[in-house]
Amino acid sequence: MLKSERAAFILQRLNEHYPETPTPLIHNSMYELLISVLLSAQCTDERVNKVTPTLFKEANTPFKMQHVPPEIVYKIIRPCGLAPKKSDAIVKLSKILVEQYSGKVPQTFEELEALPGVGHKTAGVVMSQGFGYPAFPVDTHIHRLAQRWGITKKGNNVVKTERDLKAAFPQREWNKLHLQIIFYGREFCSARGCDGRVCEICRTCYPVRKHPFKIKKA
């Protein structure tokens, strides 16, 4: 199959599997979404969703969070991993939001990525899931599947993976497809559950693949 044919098949099957794509992180405001996405780095969405109710009961706006001692935040978010850096970043970015943005979450990649603890992927999730801006954030699931499905070849750079995904799929599909790939990766094409020869999409894209596909980590 050509890459264009693989992309068309992938899009069709994912739309059949996941016609609806609810945001996995539970939140009630743009600020809560930003903090939840920040916490999800190297952590499961399920664990984040268990931690954030307690955190947001303590403070659910930047106006309140800026006054919470980092050690208090740390105790709450400790199960998420990287808690010392994340707790410090949450308090600092909250102060910045109050001082520079009147407590609102900025709506550009540049402004978001300038906030403590916010990288390109976090900014992309906020822009796509929060503001509806076309983006294609690449997490570990997407990076893995893009290689297994032949959408990207290099595999050692998430920037390259993101660029290849954007080139392969229509822009109008990016935000939904980002979540669909994550859902599929968790359910059918996990790191251990599929080696590039097990799930339906892998078998269809590469029917004669004889050996386990080796993923290149970013």
Query: Which amino acid is residue 55, in one-letter code?
Result: L
From the list 62, 52, 60, the residue with the least C-alpha distance to 92 is: 62
Q: Which of 139, 166, 176, 195 is catalytic?
A: 139
d(CA 130, CA 176): 12
Q: Where do we find the tokens 């099957």?
A: 13
Phi, psi of 216 (to 5 degrees): -95, 120
Rg (CA), the chain: 18
From the list 39, 33, 91, the residue with the least C-alpha distance to 64 is: 91
Q: Around 5, how many Cα atoms within 13 Å sit in the side-chain half-sphere? A: 5
* b/e sequence 58-84, b meaning 16+ C-beta within 10 Å: ebbebeebbebebeebbebbeebebbe
d(CA 159, CA 58): 36
Residues in the chain: 218
Catalytic residue status for 121: yes
The set of catalytic residues is 121, 139
